[in-house]
Structure 1
Amino acid sequence: MKKTTLSVLTAVLLLFASCTYEEVNDQTSPEAIDVVDQDKPLSIDQINSAIQEKLDSKGSFDWTEASDHLLWSATQHSNNLLTVGYGENGESFSTAKGQALENIKSEILNTILRTSTSKSTEDILIYDDEILNYIDVTVTTLESITALRQNEQIRYLEPEGYRFFTLAQNPETGRSSAGCSQSNVNIPSADYGTNANGAKIPWNYYDHKIDQAWAYSTGRGIGVGVIDTGLSPNQPLLGSRFDDFYSGRYVQKYGTYVDSFWWWSTKTDGPNDRCGHGTSASAAIAAPNNNTGDFLGVAYESNLISYRGTSDVVLEGYHERKGVANALKALGNRSDVKIISMSIGYPWSIGRIKDALRYAHSRGKMIFAAGGTSTNFTNWYGVIFPATMSETVAVTGVEERAQYDRCDICHDGSKIDFTIIMERSNNNHQPVVGFNNGESSSFGGSSTATATTAGIAALVWAKNPSWNRGQVLQRLKESGDFYPNRSSRYGYGNIDALKAVRGF
């Protein structure tokens, strides 16, 4: 197969992209970049070529590895917007910023003023986070980049608005729709069972003994936060009928995503899902044990707190990354939330989201992240961010067969902690409640595996409400196929939910 450029490759690294992709020939070699005019920014093709070279040689990329010229060039192609993480190493957040941090911030701003034509702080300071130690600034000159990189109290510099996904975007709207689907799917009877209420039980719940685990726990009293594309207003089982069957159970919906191309926009577009992915992820976790003949979730008595933090699964834009970071902060501050599920991500780390994850983790949250899903020809790529972080629990999907084999489009690797069976030999995936009332959907890849594992964790925590995150995680490990060993590709493997909630 002809080698594609990064703008095509990374566009399909996460979940079923519903756009049409085309190949692009990059005529600029990495060697040619070394001899270009340093006074002019590199082209997008040149930047992508340099990043692709790192991916090919190392399997990863980080902006800390970029030259000053490469970083400046990317900033020029992102409205001159640069995110600056500051503080000591590991100092991702501060609930009350002391004078030392304020001094660092002032030094950063003064450096930019000194090396640019900007006249005042108001000209360059775009956003100053109240908890996380980063600011968004406008940087126009290469001299500013070079000077900032000499400051040892800067943890990272990232061109936050730089996009690699132009070919994945809808040519009419300019937006991508990776992982999005609102289609109704007719689920064959062989792919589900039913319980006494008439609710449908997905086929893979039986593989993990989730149906047997319900005799001991249904997740009652545990709050699960889902950061995704929101919840459909057309699905009453995740809205007005969420608590039809269990008094006191609640669903709450919030929005932190700003649906705008312009970085200065601040108005969020609400909690409603316009993609479908967030609805499916939430349904896999918490859809109720209904009497309407629809599919139920793993932890069907848990509480659900949904945040629309992104428009799709690929965290490619400024407002998506900012929306996810703000959702993490909000969920981190909630005492009723024990678990956070994130079936979203990006090929490499994003500073502000990394800072926000560390904040939520410091507040005792158990954070599940998708290992990555892609088309067949990009499965060489390893585990994606934020599943690569030690603060997250990384999950991927495997097929329903005697030996372990990842699903056709799932990623695996040493960072994976657990797996969920979510693909049958006929390629049917886990069924869930659909986007609209009375409909069903098929939910696949590492996204459904992540949400399902989050639901199992809610069952364990509800059975043991006095436990902390570490104790719940240890029980999940002990319930994995490979425990006490760990696979280099699949972590502790498939979880036996019955063992996890009942103990041994």
Structure 2
Amino acid sequence: MKRPLLKLSMLLVAFTIFNACQKDEVLEMQEESVINDDQKPALTIPEINAIINQSLTETGTFDWKDVTPHTLWSAVIRGNNILTIGYGAEGESFAEVKTESLKATLSNLIQLVEDSEDYKKGDKPVVEHDIINVIDMEVANFSTIKQLLQSDGVRYLEPNGYNQYETVNNGRSSSGCDKDSNTINSAHYTTIAPNNAQVSWHFYKHNIPQAWSQSTGAGVTIGLIDTGVSASQTLLNSSGINDGYSTGRFVQKYGTFIDSSWWWSDNYDGIHDKCGHGTAMASTIAAPRNDNGMPVGVAYNANLVAYRATEDVLLNDYHERKGVSDALTQLGNRSDVKIISMSIGYLWSIGNIKDAVEYAYSKQKLIFAAGGTSTSFTNGYGVIFPATMSETVAVTGVDDGSNYDRCEVCHTGDKIDFTIIMEGDNNTSKAPPVLGFYDGDRRYTGGSSVATATTAGIAALVWSKYPTWSRAQVLTKLKQSSEFYPNKNSSFGYGNIDALQAVQ
């Protein structure tokens, strides 16, 4: 009887040893999987895009802070090794004068990257932004990402060079660009003095011509951040902007967009539009009222400061993102600029632009941003960044039917603040006419872009009428002059603005 018990005991011992070995193997496999995370190759572009798509589909937004360190590192690798580091305490997005604490944080982070990447100071470029607390550095090692994520003083890490999300031509796109002219139907404008100045049909839907008896935007300076203004459209240059009923004002052009395959380059691409989008927005805002038989701007006596900060309307490129952030901080530093108009954006928040918006907002700028216009890239998405920010005023377009319906390509959502009529009922082809890219040309253009520019112009009319008002007072007046006030619609905000009521 003892032998079976002995055999059973031996079997139990063997099973225990086997089970222990199995557990050890499982633990070893788990340890190897953790270790192998460091050894895994970078995710492919389709794999990264699938993660982004899943977040956008499930939550309607995406943020790099929500991905794994490996995914973040993969996007850095696939984005020309550019890592943008937002530093400082939480909420410390900018500083006109760096404190000793900020300087120490910055120095420590740069030293960490240099040590982890094994290069000496000065071997690799470091791009430091002037006002916002952001640096851009070249990073190749996964260990660098992990160390930074565990470091004090890091607000965010973003792969700002990653421009491969459903774009073409190596990350470059032509979204919103159009330099062609159109034959304008005479039913789509009305002529007024002096001698055939043309007023877009949609101006009358908002009582803008009626508001001109009270204000024309004189004394107000509007900053436009876009693709620039065409050198070939003299009515938007210093030689033609003061003409007819438009007098005593100025236009200034600047360029912050860098056209280079080298991310650290300072090869600025000039001040003039090469796309056509910025020229159309400038026309909507401030085209002169004269006898040339051309479209008139909403605030035809306002000053215009135009920045070529982007290549097109889609902020998918490192140089565009930096260009916009630089333009925002520069306009923020101008005491004469009261309004900033941005008919550009992206599907999710971009850290260095967000920081710069917060800086401009801290300088009391009234910032208008486009809610989104569908292209092959953005179709199907809701309100886009930076219109999603509380510091911006989000605008979109609707049609002129009796029921509120968004224009065919316009985005809507609970972040929208105002609407402007952009097309005919039932998606008919009527759109606002604007100055073309070349002298003598006109074209149609619409969407949330022109809606935003139109609203910026109306705000200039209000501020010109009440020059001592604060940003809050002007914004309140716009709300009070809108169709749904004091209520806010879940898709259209306060609705269509009555410009005449706004200046009374």
Same fold (TM over 0.5): yes
- Indicate if the aligned counterparts of 1:342 and 1:367 stay in contact, CA closer than 8 A: yes
Give the equivalent residue in structure 2 for 1:212: 210
Give the equivalent residue in structure 2 for 1:20: none
Secondary structure of the structure 2 residue equivalent to 1:338: strand
Give 1:235-314 correspondences, 5 Å limit. 235-239=233-237, 240-245=239-244, 246-314=246-314
Give 1:403-442 correspondences, 5 Å limit. 403-425=403-425, 426-442=428-444
- Indicate if the aligned counterparts of 2:167 and 2:377 stay in contact, CA closer than 8 A: no
Give the equivalent residue in structure 2 for 1:80: 81
Give the equivalent residue in structure 1 for 2:320: 320
Secondary structure of the structure 2 residue equivalent to 1:115: helix
Give the equivalent residue in structure 1 for 2:360: 360
Separation in 2, partners of 1:403, 1:248: 41
The more displaced of 374-383 and 103-112 is 374-383
Separation in 2, partners of 1:371, 1:247: 32
Separation in 1, partners of 2:107, 2:219: 45
Give the equivalent residue in structure 1 for 2:338: 338
Give the equivalent residue in structure 2 for 1:185: 182
CA RMSD of aligned residues (A): 1.5
Aligned counterpart for 1:454 among listed residues 446, 453, 456: 456
Cα deviation, 1:270-296, whole Å, max 9, x if unaligned, reads 111000000000100000111111000
Gaps (5+ residues) in structure 1?
Answer: 1-34
Give the counterpart letter for 2:335 in structure 1.
Answer: S
Cα deviation, 1:321-355, whole Å, max 9, x if unaligned, reads 11111111111111111100000001001111111
Give the counterpart letter for 1:207 in structure 2.
Answer: K
Give the equivalent residue in structure 2 for 1:67: 68
Separation in 1, partners of 2:205, 2:50: 44
Could you tell me how far 1:141 is from its partner in structure 2?
Answer: 0.9
Separation in 2, partners of 1:376, 1:266: 31
Secondary structure of the structure 2 residue equivalent to 1:306: strand
Structure showing greater Rg: 2
Separation in 2, partners of 1:332, 1:208: 29
Structure 1 position 51 matched with structure 2 position 49: no
The more displaced of 481-490 and 437-446 is 437-446
Give 1:135-150 correspondences, 5 Å limit. 135-150=135-150
Gaps (5+ residues) in structure 2?
Answer: 1-35
Give the equivalent residue in structure 2 for 1:98: 99
Could you tell me how far 1:168 is from its partner in structure 2?
Answer: 3.0
Separation in 2, partners of 1:480, 1:272: 35
Separation in 2, partners of 1:408, 1:212: 28
Give the counterpart letter for 2:478 in structure 1.
Answer: L
- Indicate if the aligned counterparts of 1:397 and 1:407 stay in contact, CA closer than 8 A: yes
Could you tell me how far 1:471 is from its partner in structure 2?
Answer: 0.4
Give the equivalent residue in structure 2 for 1:382: 382
Aligned length: 464
Could you tell me how far 1:267 is from its partner in structure 2?
Answer: 1.9
- Indicate if the aligned counterparts of 1:395 and 1:446 stay in contact, CA closer than 8 A: yes
- Indicate if the aligned counterparts of 2:172 and 2:317 stay in contact, CA closer than 8 A: no
Could you tell me how far 1:124 is from its partner in structure 2?
Answer: 4.3
Secondary structure of the structure 2 residue equivalent to 1:168: coil
Give the equivalent residue in structure 1 for 2:172: 175
Could you tell me how far 1:383 is from its partner in structure 2?
Answer: 0.6
Could you tell me how far 1:111 is from its partner in structure 2?
Answer: 2.1
Change (3 A) 1:373 1:38: farther
Could you tell me how far 1:144 is from its partner in structure 2?
Answer: 0.8
Separation in 2, partners of 1:114, 1:251: 48
Give the equivalent residue in structure 1 for 2:198: 200
Give the equivalent residue in structure 2 for 1:159: 159
Change (3 A) 1:233 1:262: same
Cα deviation, 1:136-195, whole Å, max 9, x if unaligned, reads 0111111111111112421110011001256433x8xx7311100011111111111011
Change (3 A) 1:61 1:78: same
Secondary structure of the structure 1 residue equivalent to 2:84: strand
Secondary structure of the structure 2 residue equivalent to 1:328: helix
Separation in 1, partners of 2:79, 2:375: 28
Moved over 6 A (4+): none
Give the equivalent residue in structure 2 for 1:114: 115
Secondary structure of the structure 1 residue equivalent to 2:222: strand
Could you tell me how far 1:474 is from its partner in structure 2?
Answer: 0.2
- Indicate if the aligned counterparts of 1:400 and 1:422 stay in contact, CA closer than 8 A: yes
Structure 1 position 234 matched with structure 2 position 232: yes
Could you tell me how far 1:38 is from its partner in structure 2?
Answer: 4.5
- Indicate if the aligned counterparts of 1:126 and 1:136 stay in contact, CA closer than 8 A: yes
Separation in 2, partners of 1:499, 1:247: 25
Secondary structure of the structure 2 residue equivalent to 1:123: coil
Change (3 A) 1:128 1:491: same
Could you tell me how far 1:441 is from its partner in structure 2?
Answer: 1.1
Separation in 1, partners of 2:445, 2:39: 48
- Indicate if the aligned counterparts of 1:63 and 1:157 stay in contact, CA closer than 8 A: yes
Could you tell me how far 1:376 is from its partner in structure 2?
Answer: 8.2
Change (3 A) 1:57 1:459: same
Separation in 1, partners of 2:251, 2:114: 47
Secondary structure of the structure 2 residue equivalent to 1:368: strand
